Structures are given as structure tokens and as C-alpha cells.
Structure 1
Amino acid sequence: MAELGVRVTRMELFKLKKRLEVADRARQLLEEKRKILAMELMKYVDKIRELRENVNRSLADLYDALVDAEMLMGKSVVRGLLIPSADRFEIEESSRSTIGISIPVLKLKMTKGFMATNPYSFITTSTKLDEIAGKVDDVLISVVELAEAQATVKRLAEELDKVKRRVNALERIVIPKIQRRIKYIEMRLEEMEREDMFRLKRIKTCLERRRRTGV
């Protein structure tokens, strides 16, 4: 079957073979990247499982500490002292590069000036509140780490899907198309060569006949 728009020349054949080498090399590199991304993704999936367990443990510890403090001081007192402390942290967002991919980085930072407006005194209140404050910090840190890991998994999964589509395009469309064109040109060149040989043979036969007959 004729390939439309294909020039049947040895130069075109040479160019197509070079293009095939480049496409195959690109496929190999993308396949390597796909494997690395898949391994990195699985690593973060396992990490998320551990971080979720940490969050659940931290929340359970915080709940137990709150129950104890409320029994000693009363629910309204404990909640009144701790609610304002919710604003003492802020999340700083940045990014880092992994395998050439921009990965989100989340960092928990204490709000500027918080220590000057601490909602409770470490001296005048129960040491139980100090314990609760520490457990609140543990929960927040665990939650931020979990959020960062989940965002990383989302980014890696998106990149992995993109790489898979490129590999599939090369394997199913680009490379087969180049191979078909190479095969077509090689076949046509062989046919043309046979036709040339046949014509030359006929010319040689005619010349020999004329030489013998003197015509």
C-alpha cells in the first residue's frame, strides 16, 4: 500500500532511520522515567499510610489530654483558653524539584508576635494545658506532613499519567508510522532497482543483437 507524501529516495530513507533511532531513544528514556515515577509514587503511598496513622494517634492523644483537662478545670475554661491559639501557626508554601518535577513543600511556622499575645500563662494555668498545647502542635505537624505527601502523590500521579500517554503515543503511533514508511521506501527502492536491472538487461540484449546483425 502506497504511503502518501513519502519521497522514495535513499536520503529520505536515511532521515527516517535517524528519526526512528531518536524516537526509540525517547521511548526508552520515558520508560525509565515512568519506572522511577512509579517507584517514587509507591514510596509516597506507603508514607501516606504511616502519616495517617500518626495523625490518628496524635488526635487520640489530644482527645485524652482534653478530657483530663476538662475534668480538672471545666470544659468552658479549657476551650476558652485554647481556641485563640488556633491562629498561632501559619503554613509556608514552597516547592522542590524531584526527577525534574516541581513538588509542593509545606512548612508549619509560628505566627509572628504570637508569644507576645499568648492566650494563657504557663505559670497561672494547669500544666495540663502545656501538655495539650504540645499535643495540638503534634496534630498540626502531622496534618501538614500528610497534606504535603498527598499533594506530592497527586503531582507524581499527574506526571506519571503524562509520561504513560507519551510512551503509548510513541509505541502505538509515532514509531509504527516511521517503520511503515521505512519498509515502504525499502520495498519501492528494491522494486526500482529490479526495474533498472531489467531495463539495463534489455538494453544490453538489444545492443548485442544489433552488433551481431549489424543493424
Structure 2
Amino acid sequence: MANIQVNPTRMELTKLKKKLTTAIRGHKLLKDKRDELMRQFLDLVRENKALREKVEAGIHSANKNFVLARSVMDDEVLNVSLMAPRQEVFLECHTKNVMSVNIPQFEYRTKTPDENDIYPYGYAFTSSDLDGAVKSLQDILPDMLKLAEVEKACQLLAAEIEKTRRRVNALEHVMIPQMQQKIKYIVMKLDENERSTQVRLMKVKDMMLEKAHHYSD
């Protein structure tokens, strides 16, 4: 306590007690926030795992169909078939606030609603395997966007969890103990001053009584 730099007054004691109450309340709120962030983070991690497996399976299927298409089609015909895509995709990004973290949300729309517009070629000189590859990529697109959304959400939540954890530890192991130590120091000093005052008052009383006793003689 010798290194504590604080003014041992009742006003300072009142201020520190108010700060301590606020710090304890903030510590509880931050712990609750950290726990809720962890719960949502773990849910997202499980969702991310399932989506990644689904997307990887879809991409594997599309690649397999492309390999089959290349085996029965000339490279020149394949390249010309995919050179000028007919369909277009427009992506919009919004955000959702989750425990003070802005989580991205992706929405997409196509240029035309016709599902057959994903094929930018005629069917006369192309393989059905190429149709299957293009269709596989179209089917996996929503899951790919959802995967990107969930992975980014996991990154943002992980960063927020780490920041909240540091704040909780700072309050729990540094700020609250320091304020408690200062309060203890001030209370000790005030008690010491009060005892000194009482001792002085008793001495003054004894002197006055002694003086009065001498006068009575």
C-alpha cells in the first residue's frame, strides 16, 4: 500500500466506491456478452463446417463433370461454349448487428429469372456432362455465398471475443483489485486519523479535568 497514489479523503472514498460499483457491473455485463458471443460463435463454427463440406462436395462434382466434358469435347469447342455467359449475377451486401458486431449478409439476384439462361451455348455440339457441370456450379452458388458470409462472421466474432476477453481480464485482475486496494487504504487512513483525533480529544479532556482539579484545590 505504500506505493498507492491517492488522496485519503472521504470525498475520494465516495468517488472510488461509485467507480468500483460501476466496474463490477460492467465486468458482469462484459462476461455475459463474452459468453453469448462464444455461444453464437460455436453455432457458426458448426454451420461453417457443414457448409464447407457441402460446398467442397459440390465443387468436386462440378470439376468431375468438367473433366468428363473435356474428355468428349474439343478444347476449342469447350472454350467457345463458355466464352460469352448469358446470365449475370448481382450481389448485394448488408449487415446485421450481433452483440455490437456488424455481421455481413449477402443477397444475390440474376439478370433474368429463366433458369435455362445459365447455359451460354447451344446443345447441338456440347456434351451433357458440360450441362451438368454448369448446373452444379449454379446449385452451389447460394451455399458458397452463405459459406463466405458465415466464415466472415466467425472471423469478426472471434476478434470481438478476444477484445471482450481482454477487457474482462483487465477489469477482473487489474482495475477492480486496484480500486479495492485504494478503498482499503483510504479507509485505513481515515480510521487512523479518527483514532488520532480521539486520542487528542481525550488528552485535551484530561488536561481540562486536571486543570479544573488544580483550580478546585
Scaled by the length of structure 2, the TM-score of the pair is 0.85
Please name the residue that 1:177 is paired with.
178
User: Which residue is equivalent to 1:195?
Assistant: 196
Partner Cα distance (2:62, 2:196) in 1: 89
For the residues of structure 2 that align with 1:112 and 1:77, how far apart are their CA atoms? Answer: 26
Distance 1:156 1:178, change over 3 A: same
How many angstroms does 1:150 deviate by? 1.1
- Code of the aligned partner of 1:165: R
- Structure 2 counterpart of 1:139, one-letter code: I
Q: Which shows bigger deviation, 53-62 or 196-205?
A: 53-62
CA contact (8 A) 1:2 1:184 kept: no
Residues 184-193 or 94-103, more deviating: 94-103
- Residues in 2 aligned to 1:201 and 1:2: alpha-carbon distance in whole angstroms: 33
| Aligned partner of residue 84 in structure 1, secondary structure | coil
Partner of 1:32: 32
CA–CA distance in 2 between the matches of 1:50 and 1:154? 17
Residues 3 and 100 of structure 1: CA distance in aligned 2, closer, same or farther (over 3 Å): same
Report the CA distance between 1:51 and its aligned residue.
Answer: 1.3
Does the 8 A contact of 2:86 with 2:118 survive in 1? Answer: no
Cα distance between partner residues in 1 of 2:128 and 2:185:
84
Note the residue ranges of structure 1 that are not aligned, 5 or more in a row. Answer: none
Q: Cα–Cα, structure 1 residues 134 and 117, in superposed 2: closer, same or farther, change >3 Å?
A: closer
| SS of the residue 2:121 aligns to | coil
Counting matched residue pairs gives 214
Find the residue that maps to 1:60 and give its secondary structure.
helix
Moved more, 159-168 or 124-133: 124-133
Alpha carbons of 1:113 and 1:54: their partners in 2 closer, same or farther (altered >3 Å)? closer
Scaled by the length of structure 1, the TM-score of the pair is 0.85
Counting aligned pairs with the same residue, the percent is 32
What residue is the counterpart of 2:82 in the other structure? Answer: 82
* Structure-1 residue corresponding to 2:92: 92
The answer to whether the 8 A contact 2:86-2:119 is kept is no
Distance 1:113 1:134 in 2: 15
Shift of 1:56: 1.5
Deviations 1:148-205 (A, max 9, x none): 1111111111111111121122122221221111011100011011101100110111
